[in-house]
Amino acid sequence: DIQVTQSPSTLSASVGDTVIIICRASESVRSWLAWYQQKPGKAPNLLIYKASSLASGVPSRFSGSGSGTEFTLTISGLQPDDFATYYCQQYNSYSTFTFGPGTKVEIK
Amino acid sequence: EVQLVESGGGLVQPGGSLRLSCAASGFTFSNSWMTWVRQAPGKGPEWVANIKTDGSENYYVASVKGRFTISRDNAKNTLYLQMSSLRDDDTAVYYCAKGGDVPAPWGQGTLVTVSS
């Protein structure tokens, strides 16, 4: 099965900062990678799919890049609403649609 | 607007069974793959299973194969997850979601607690 890791596990940042979250897969998932945002007590919300495509209604300060085994989620100009936990998910092959362990973005 | 409402969660003893339901509205259910995802307390999400539009294909994570069955009733716009031989590590919030590979959006979830 494809394993997915994220770094860092926690990130402290201030409003206006640019933050970068890294997601790595244990083998190539081509561009089949998505990013989700989750706030406490709520279901995850899709931000990015196919590595770099912005989901409908998602602000343009969110961007994704990468292919193969290394991917990044960038938030340019962090807003108060962005403090949350972020997960990547690979969907390269059925039965191994794995999520990463998450990156919590905290207020510095 | 897409709406997904899960139900059927609760407390069950190890080895027991439970059936979750997900009522869908706001989109053409019969044209959409559907997915179940679960999230244990304090953990990241775990993809559980998905099912094709007409129910002819389905896929499961290894840890639930042979114990869980995903199904759907397109006439009732409802997705199901039949869970049996439940174990402590099946304790989680279970979400249904529209889509087969990139699930979105998700419902609000239903909590399943497996404990004696």
- Which two structure tokens, joined as six digits, stand for B2? 């897409």
Q: A82: alpha, beta or left, given left = phi > 0 and alpha = psi -120 to 50?
A: alpha
Contact criterion met (CB < 8 Å) for B95 and A1: no
Residue A93 has pLDDT above 80, yes or no: no
Nearest chain A residue to B61 by CA distance is A95
Out of B47, B108, B109, name the one closest to residue A98 (CB): B47
Out of A49, A96, A102, name the one closest to residue B102 (CB): A49
How sure is the predictor about A38, in pLDDT bands with cuts at 50, 70 and 90? very high
Taking contacts as CB-CB distances below 8 angstroms, the residues of chain B near A102 are 44
Within A1-108, strands assigned E span 4-7, 10-13, 18-25, 33-38, 45-49, 53-54, 62-67, 70-76, 85-90, 103-107
pLDDT for res A95 = 55
Q: Show pLDDT as tens, one digit a residue, over chain B (116 residues).
A: 999 999 999 999 999 999 999 999 999 999 999 999 999 999 999 999 999 999 999 999 999 999 999 999 999 999 999 999 999 999 999 999 999 889 999 999 999 999 99
Taking contacts as CB-CB distances below 8 angstroms, the residues of chain A near B103 are 46
Does the beta carbon of A35 lie under 8 angstroms from any beta carbon of chain B?
A: no
Nearest chain B residue to A87 by CA distance is B44
Out of B59, B61, B102, name the one closest to residue A46 (CB): B102
How sure is the predictor about A94, in pLDDT bands with cuts at 50, 70 and 90? low
pLDDT for res A53 = 98
pLDDT for res B94 = 98
How sure is the predictor about A108, in pLDDT bands with cuts at 50, 70 and 90? confident
pLDDT digit string, tens, across residues A16-31: 999 999 999 999 999 9
pLDDT for res A1 = 83
